Amino acid sequence: MPQANKSAQSSQDFVPVKEVRDGVIVLNNGGLRGVLMASSLNFALKSEDEQSAFIMQFQNFFNSLDFSIQIYIQSRELDIRPYIETLEVEYKRTMDDLMRIQIREYMEFIKSFVEGADIMTKQFFVIVPYSPASITINTGMLSSLPWSKSKNAARKAVTKKNEFQENVSQLDQRMAIVQQGLIRTGVRSVQLDTEEIIELLYKIFNPGEQDQPKQMIEALN
């Protein structure tokens, strides 16, 4: 048991995330991160003029930023389980024997094709940072007196909440700038909420999971 506890503690120390709150990642060092899920486009199918225009717009977008961003690409094997489940329902509902045979053969074909082709799906995320400046508040000598401790604790709680909201507001402004810049390049984006961020973080640290974030994908369609 002591060895297990030590392992769990080490794993926790490896993750730099303190909490996910109000659709914002709060890091252990106090930094904030917002996450956008971006749509994709097939660059290879565009003409040379369109490719050049896209590259120019993307360059202008990066040059317009006065803060850094991170682009994260998540690649996973195509999960065909929901599609197979739909076919299974149709197979059980169909009364025609010939149709049942065709559905079964089609299901086997899809399974073997996906396994043999090793088809991957890609999702694109943009992480927008904001690191608030640390401010030390000096409450003076009276703060050590017993009667003032409870009042100081309440004041600190209110101050901390207000500072968080102000920092989130600054992060939201950066998120809006990034979204507007992406739109000019032809890339749509949607901001992840708390549950979606937790789901994304879970899949990053648990790459064996195959479930797809359906709500995030539908938001871009």
Q: Quick one: pLDDT at residue 158?
A: 65
Mean pLDDT of 7-12: 54
Structure tokens at 142: 């009276």
- Please classify residue 137 by burial: count the beta carbons closer than 10 Å to its beta carbon, then call 0-12 exposed, 13-18 middle and 19+ buried: exposed
CA distances from 9 to 2, 15, 28, 30, 62 (A): 11, 10, 15, 20, 39
Give the pTM.
0.67
Phi, psi angle pair for 95, to nearest 5°? -95, -20
Phi, psi angle pair for 155, to nearest 5°? -65, -40
**Letter for the amino acid at 7?**
S
Task: Enumerate helices (H) and strands (E) in the chain, giving the number of each.
Answer: 7, 6
CA 158 to chain centre: 29
b/e map 84-97, b = 16+ CB within 10 Å: eeeeeeebeeeeee
CA distances from 186 to 162, 173, 216 (A): 36, 20, 19
pLDDT tens-digit series, residues 33-91: 999 999 988 888 889 999 999 899 989 999 999 999 999 998 877 777 888 888 888 88
More confident residue, 213 or 165: 165
Mean pLDDT of 151-173: 79
pLDDT band at 220 (very low <50, low <70, confident <90, very high): very low
Select from 154, 79, 133 the least CA-distant residue to 110: 79
More confident residue, 13 or 151: 13
More confident residue, 221 or 78: 78
